[in-house]
């Protein structure tokens, strides 16, 4: 009956849409069972505009309707179950919004309560005492009794449970508005059935035959049909694999193609020499570079000599020695007659860079200056002049470097520290400070390790260098997690460490929305510390964002120079601050920080030769997830491992370091968290194809070129904005 209807409709419809390219492009309202009202909802809630869009809305999970569980066998309260039960009682309690319907069902093993808060009248009428239905939902135990809230209700299978032959049913993303508008899960399945009936033969294969063959992928129309209505688990697996692989493959193909085109077109300044400033600095180093530092400098050298513009991301854990690499890179640029700049996200960090780097520069005779928001007009003038006439070779600064009146004579290299703190616009401004249309080489440094799969996607067209080796002599930081009850233990431990001559960081969270409260916490914490560590036996410094720059520097310097034993602060110290004598990091309300932030903070200690400690203090009410994070911190010290775990826990979209730039593309079915293996395979296959046909002009790759022209793969060019 249903099918005949579609058949007829299809005929009329085909005539109607003849002017369209295909049925897939037709407005969703023309799908049987949709109509203008529901179409509006589908458009606003799910961005489904056409029948093709609907077919590309994939289920996010499947209900296994092939098994019916005995009520007596249900033990867990996590998974979904399907039971066949007879109604033995039904009662409505409460009034108004507190009203609820309680229905007790039974099978031959046990009983279960079903609870409804909505649609009470309708449901009560349907679930008459004595009648039998299939119920599907998430069971839970309440007061030791099994219950299910708002289960889905189905008529029992005809012929009794023995003959039941259900399948995997797709569950689609839904919203309250969709449900209220009548687009329930079941309606969605019906619409999808209609869409498949009408549209499946119009689905065009997107991947060339040779790829399907070489990669053993199923055809697209098989995949689309089975992702919605799997014949069985094996077909679903095949469909899923094909769709994920295709999605990641096309994404990588577009990123790599851009990279290829850019490296061919973008002229870069050729810096052929190492130069004497580099050698002077290198030879005077008090230590030898780590293997990883040497490797990265080689990679950078190759870029600078290539004649193409360098666009390199340098990832390395806190303390891995990125600054040294930055300095040596700047010295190569200077040795080749160009200027270089190093941009840091905060004033404190820029100052610290300036102080450190000036030391490294001493043996080279190169002069550098600092330019920040608080540089006085009188101080700015000579700096501006020096940059403009080329006498000033190296400038270190904050956003102040981006201002219009900062003009370089010949900027050859821009180094950006902690890139994720800079906005996209700011980075492109820097890019434009090169001369005569030749952009400077760009080195972006980040201490927020990004998992490999994410880096491949986020920075798919950037080159990535990784410093995966710490300078020798660093001891692991012992990490502990304490509740409030252990505070006395903490204070005793702190006193002991101070008596040994060590210094201590205490960090409070500062989260934007509750800033006021956070400052109260910080101040209360400070008072508490001063009470337990009184002057003059102890000296406690405090740094936070509401202080004047002067106060901030005064307190920072008191700690950095060793005059203060304890530094109480907000996360201003998160990035970069280097106090080798500080060996204890106490993080208050640690549950409120993300993993990578905790890791950054911990990286502030363990820089000297002493044994170092990190204490994570947490409040009374901590969610399971936060506790998992804290425990992971205690167990793992490797930033990349933590980043992987963080991504698994929170999903890539929420990872710190990616919020600002966001993912270049929204993935429909693949997951960067779970599909790393597919991603690697798809990426190397994309490389293999581009090696033979870099611009995808060969006839066999025509469908690929066509796919990449679609909006979805019009990926932002991240290299341009870094
Ligand atoms: P990052 O910027 O990656 O956090 P830094 O460049 O600040 O790390 O280096 C951390 C510390 O390690 C600094 O005190 C630096 O002098 C020191 N350092 C850097 N490279 C080496 C090395 N190869 N051997 C020994 N110490 C090093
Ligand atoms: Mg650093």
Instruction: Evaluate if residue 426 carries a pLDDT over 70.
Output: no
Provide the pLDDT for residue 474.
76
Do 701 and 247 form a contact (C-beta atoms < 8 A)? Answer: no
User: What residue owns the CA closest to ligand 1's atom 1?
Assistant: 319
Q: H/E element holding 505?
A: strand 503-507
Predicted pLDDT of residue 659: 39
Q: Which ligand 1 atom is nearest residue 325's CA? A: 6
Return d(Cα 722, Cα 422) in angstroms, integer. 9
Pocket test of ligand 1: the residue of 313, 322, 323 to mutate, having most ligand atoms within 8 Å of its CB, is 323
pLDDT at 719 over 50: no
Which pLDDT belongs to residue 652? Answer: 53
Please give the share of the chain, as a percent, with pLDDT higher than 90. Answer: 49
Measured in Å, residue 324 CA sits from the centre of ligand 1 at: 7
Model confidence at 91: pLDDT above 80: yes
Cα(557) to centroid of ligand 1, in Å? Answer: 20
Q: Which ligand is nearest to the CA of 417?
A: 2
Q: What sign has the CA pseudo-torsion 8, 9, 10, 13?
A: positive
**Residue 422: pLDDT over 80:** no
CA of 318 from ligand 2 middle (Å) equals: 6
Closest residue by CA, ligand 1 atom 26: 471
Q: Counting atoms of ligand 1 from 1, which one is nearest the CA of 607?
A: 11
Comma-separated ranges of CATH 3.40.50.300 domains in the chain: 276-306+321-446, 477-636
Which ligand 1 atom sits nearest the alpha carbon of residue 473? 25
How far, in Å, is the centroid of ligand 1 from the Cα of 340?
21
Residue 470 Cα to ligand 2 middle (Å): 13
Centre of ligand 2 from the C-alpha of residue 373, in Å: 20
* Closest CA to ligand 1's atom 10: 319
Smallest-distance ligand from the CA of 579 = 1
Find where tokens 């979209």 sit: 653
Question: In a mutational test of the pocket of ligand 1, which residue from 282, 293, 319, 475 has the highest number of ligand atoms less than 8 Å from its CB?
Answer: 319
State the pLDDT at residue 658. Answer: 42
Which ligand is closest in space to the CA of residue 357? 1
Cα of 356 vs centre of ligand 1, distance in Å, is 10
Please name which ligand lies nearest the alpha carbon of 469.
1
pLDDT computed for residue 575 by the predictor: 46
Atom of ligand 1 nearest to the CA of 326: 6
Stretch 238-257: mean pLDDT: 93
Helix pair 276-284, 322-335: axis angle to 10 deg: 150
What's the pLDDT at 610?
Answer: 82
Higher pLDDT, 719 or 297: 297
CATH of span 276-306+321-446: 3.40.50.300
Instruction: State the pLDDT at residue 557.
Output: 87
pLDDT at 577: 66
End-to-end alpha-carbon separation of the chain, Å?
59
Distance CA 376, CA 524 (A): 35
Q: Which one of 21-30, 184-193, 369-378 scores highest in mean pLDDT? A: 369-378
Atom 25 (ligand 1) nearest CA = 471
Residues with CB under 6 A from ligand 1: 287, 289-290, 293, 316, 318-324, 447, 471, 578, 607
Pick the atom of ligand 1 nearest to 293's CA: 23
Counting from 1 in the atom list of ligand 1, the atom nearest the Cα of 356 is: 16
Predicted pLDDT at 587: 95
User: pLDDT tens-digit profile of 447-464?
Assistant: 777 776 677 776 666 778
* 387 touches 395 (CB < 8 A): yes
pLDDT at 2 over 50: no
Ligand 2 centroid to residue 322 C-alpha, Å: 6
CA of 275 to the centre of ligand 2 (A): 24
Which pLDDT does position 77 carry in this prediction?
56
Ligand closest to the CA atom of residue 288? 1
pLDDT of residue 6: 44
In angstroms, what is the span from residue 251 Cα to ligand 2's centroid?
A: 32
Q: Which atom of ligand 1 is nearest to the CA of 317?
A: 3
CA 577 – ligand 2 centroid, Å = 8
More confidently predicted of 257 and 156:
257
Whether 16 has a pLDDT exceeding 60, the answer reads no
Q: How far is ligand 1, taken at its centre, from the CA of residue 447, in Å?
A: 13
Question: β-pairing, 152-154 with 339-343?
Answer: unpaired
Q: Which CATH architecture has domain 477-636?
A: 3-Layer(aba) Sandwich (3.40)
pLDDT value at 721 more than 50: no
Residue-wise pLDDT for 316-356, tens only, equals 887 889 999 999 999 999 999 999 999 998 888 898 899 99
Residue ID of nearest Cα to ligand 1 atom 18: 321
d(CA 181, CA 274): 68
Supply the DSSP string of 330-398, one letter for each residue: HHHHHHTT-EEEEE-SSHHHHHHHHHHHHHHHGGGT--EEEE-TT--HHHHHHHHHHHHHT---EEEES
> Three-state DSSP class for 224?
helix
- Among 11-25, 556-570, 662-676, which range has the highest average pLDDT? 556-570
SS3 at position 658: coil
User: Measured in angstroms, how far is the CA atom of residue 478 from the centroid of ligand 1?
Assistant: 20
State the CATH class of domain 67-164.
Answer: mainly beta
Residue 424's pLDDT band, with cuts at 50, 70 and 90, is: low
**What was the pLDDT predicted at 158?**
63
Ligand 1 atom index nearest CA of 603: 4
pLDDT at 662 (0 to 100): 44
- pLDDT at residue 657, as a whole number: 42
CB count within 10 Å of CB 642 equals 23
- Which of 357, 466, 471 is the pocket-test mutation for ligand 1 (most atoms within 8 Å of CB)? 471
Ligand closest to the CA atom of residue 607: 1
Tell which atom from ligand 1 comes closest to the C-alpha of 318: 4
Residue keyed to tokens 């008191």: 558
Q: Is 710 helix (H, G, I), strand (E, B) or coil?
A: coil
Q: Of residues 571 and 446, which shows the higher confidence score? A: 446
Q: Worst-scoring range by mean pLDDT, 379-383, 441-445, 562-566?
A: 441-445
Global pTM? 0.63
- Which ligand gives the minimal distance to the CA of 575? 2
The residue nearest atom 17 of ligand 1, judged by CA position, is 321
Say which residues have a Cβ less than 8 Å from residue 530's Cβ, sequence separation at least 6: 540
**Count H helices, E strands: the chain?**
25, 22
At 312 the three-state DSSP class reads strand
Q: Give pLDDT, residue 699.
A: 95
Q: Which of 400-409, 457-466, 576-585 has the lowest mean pLDDT?
A: 457-466
Whose C-alpha lies nearest to ligand 1, atom 20?
Answer: 321
- Asked which of 51-55, 139-143, 237-241, 442-446 is least confident by mean pLDDT, the reply is 139-143
**Residue of the nearest CA to atom 9 in ligand 1?**
321
User: Could you say which ligand is closest to the alpha carbon of residue 474?
Assistant: 1
> How high is the mean pLDDT of the chain?
85
Cα of 78 vs centre of ligand 2, distance in Å, is 45
Distance 319 CA to ligand 1 centre (A): 5
- Per residue in 152-188, pLDDT (tens digit) is 888 776 655 444 445 788 888 888 888 888 888 889 9
Q: Which of 8-22, 83-97, 133-147, 459-473 has the lowest mean pLDDT?
A: 8-22
Average pLDDT (306-314) is: 87
H-helix segments, 595-701: 595-602, 624-635, 639-650, 676-692
The residue whose CA is least distant from atom 15 of ligand 1 is: 321
Give the distance (Å) from ligand 1 centre to CA of residue 293. 10
Query: Is the confidence at residue 302, as pLDDT, over 90?
Result: yes
Question: Distances in Å between the alpha carbon of 476 and those of 148, 470, 628, 635?
Answer: 49, 11, 21, 11
Q: Return the pLDDT at 486.
A: 94
Nearest CA to ligand 1 atom 21: 471
Task: Identify the nearest ligand to the CA of 327 by its number.
Answer: 1
| Ligand 2 midpoint to CA 652 (Å) | 24
**Minimum mean pLDDT among 78-87, 226-235, 265-274, 455-464: which range?**
455-464
Q: Identify which of 66-80, 169-183, 457-471, 507-521 has the greatest average pLDDT.
A: 169-183
Residues of the chain with CATH 2.40.50.140: 67-164
Give the pLDDT confidence score for residue 512 in this predicted structure: 55
Q: What is the mean pLDDT of residues 72-95?
A: 84
**From the alpha carbon of 290, which atom of ligand 1 is closest?**
23
């Amino acid at each position: 009956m249903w099918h005949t209807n579609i058949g007829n409709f299809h005929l009329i419809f085909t005539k109607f849409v003849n002017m369209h390219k295909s049925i897939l492009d037709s407005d969703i309202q023309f799908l049987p069972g949709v109509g203008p009202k529901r179409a509006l909802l589908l458009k606003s809630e799910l961005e489904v505009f056409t029948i093709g869009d609907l077919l590309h809305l994939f289920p996010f999970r499947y209900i296994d309707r092939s098994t019916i569980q005995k009520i007596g066998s249900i033990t867990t309260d996590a998974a979904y179950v399907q039971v066949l039960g007879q109604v033995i009682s039904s009662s409505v309690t409460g009034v108004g919004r507190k009203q609820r319907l309680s229905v007790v069902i039974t099978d031959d093993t046990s009983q279960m309560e079903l609870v409804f808060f909505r649609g009470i009248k309708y449901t009560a009428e349907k679930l008459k005492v004595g009648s039998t239905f299939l119920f599907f939902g998430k069971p839970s135990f309440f007061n030791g009794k099994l219950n299910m809230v708002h289960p889905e209700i189905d008529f029992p299978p005809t012929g009794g449970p023995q003959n039941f032959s259900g399948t995997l049913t797709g569950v689609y993303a839904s919203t309250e508005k969709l449900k209220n508008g009548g687009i329930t899960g079941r309606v969605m399945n019906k619409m999808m059935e209609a869409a498949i009936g009408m549209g499946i033969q119009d689905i065009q294969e997107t991947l060339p035959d040779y790829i399907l063959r070489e990669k053993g992928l199923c055809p697209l129309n098989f995949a689309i049909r089975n992702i919605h209505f799997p014949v069985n688990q094996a077909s679903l697996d095949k469909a899923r694999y094909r769709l994920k692989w295709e999605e990641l493959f096309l994404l990588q193909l577009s990123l790599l193609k851009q990279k290829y085109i850019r490296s061919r077109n973008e002229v870069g300044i050729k810096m052929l020499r190492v130069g004497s400033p580099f050698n002077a600095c290198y030879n005077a180093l008090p230590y030898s570079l780590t293997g990883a530092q040497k490797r990265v400098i080689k990679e950078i050298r190759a870029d600078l000599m290539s004649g193409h513009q360098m666009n390199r991301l340098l990832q390395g854990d806190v303390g891995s020695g990125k600054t040294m690499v930055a300095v040596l890179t700047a010295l190569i640029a200077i040795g080749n007659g160009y200027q270089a700049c190093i941009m840091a996200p905060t004033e404190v960090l820029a100052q610290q860079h300036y102080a450190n780097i000036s030391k490294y520069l001493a043996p080279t005779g190169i002069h550098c200056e600092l330019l920040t928001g608080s540089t006085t007009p009188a101080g700015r003038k000579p700096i501006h002049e020096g940059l403009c006439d080329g006498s000033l070779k190296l400038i270190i600064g904050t956003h102040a470097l981006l201002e219009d009146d900062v003009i370089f004579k010949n900027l050859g290299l821009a180094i950006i520290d902690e890139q994720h703190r800079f906005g996209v616009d700011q980075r492109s401004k820097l890019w434009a400070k090169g001369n005569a249309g030749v952009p400077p080489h760009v080195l972006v440094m980040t201490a927020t390790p990004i998992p490999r799969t994410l880096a491949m996607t986020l920075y798919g067209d950037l080159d990535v260098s990784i410093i995966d080796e710490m300078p020798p002599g660093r001891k692991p930081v012992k990490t502990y997690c304490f509740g409030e009850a252990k505070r006395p233990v903490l204070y005793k431990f702190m006193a002991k460490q101070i008596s040994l001559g060590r210094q201590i960081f205490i960090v409070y969270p500062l989260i934007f929305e509750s800033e006021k409260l956070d400052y109260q916490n910080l101040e209360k914490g400070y008072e508490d510390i001063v009470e337990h560590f009184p002057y003059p036996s102890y000296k406690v410094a405090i740094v936070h964002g509401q202080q004047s720059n002067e106060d901030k520097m005064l307190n920072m310097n008191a700690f950095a120079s060793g005059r203060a034993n304890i530094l109480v602060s907000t996360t201003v110290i998160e990035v970069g601050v280097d106090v080798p004598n500080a060996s204890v990091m106490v993080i208050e309300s640690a549950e409120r920080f993300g993993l990578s932030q905790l890791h950054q903070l911990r990286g502030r200690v363990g820089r000297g030769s002493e044994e170092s400690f990190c204490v994570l203090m947490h409040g009374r009410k901590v969610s399971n997830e936060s506790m998992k994070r804290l425990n992971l911190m205690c167990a793992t010290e490797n930033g990349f491992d933590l980043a992987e775990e963080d991504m698994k826990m929170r999903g890539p979209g929420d990872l710190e370091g990616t919020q600002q730039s966001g993912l270049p593309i929204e993935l429909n079915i693949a997951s960067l968290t779970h599909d790393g293996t597919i991603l690697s395979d798809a990426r190397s296959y994309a490389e293999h194809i581009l090696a033979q046909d870099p611009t995808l002009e060969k006839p066999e790759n025509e469908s690929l070129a066509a796919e990449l022209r679609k909006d979805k793969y019009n990926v932002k060019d991240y290299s341009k904005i870094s």
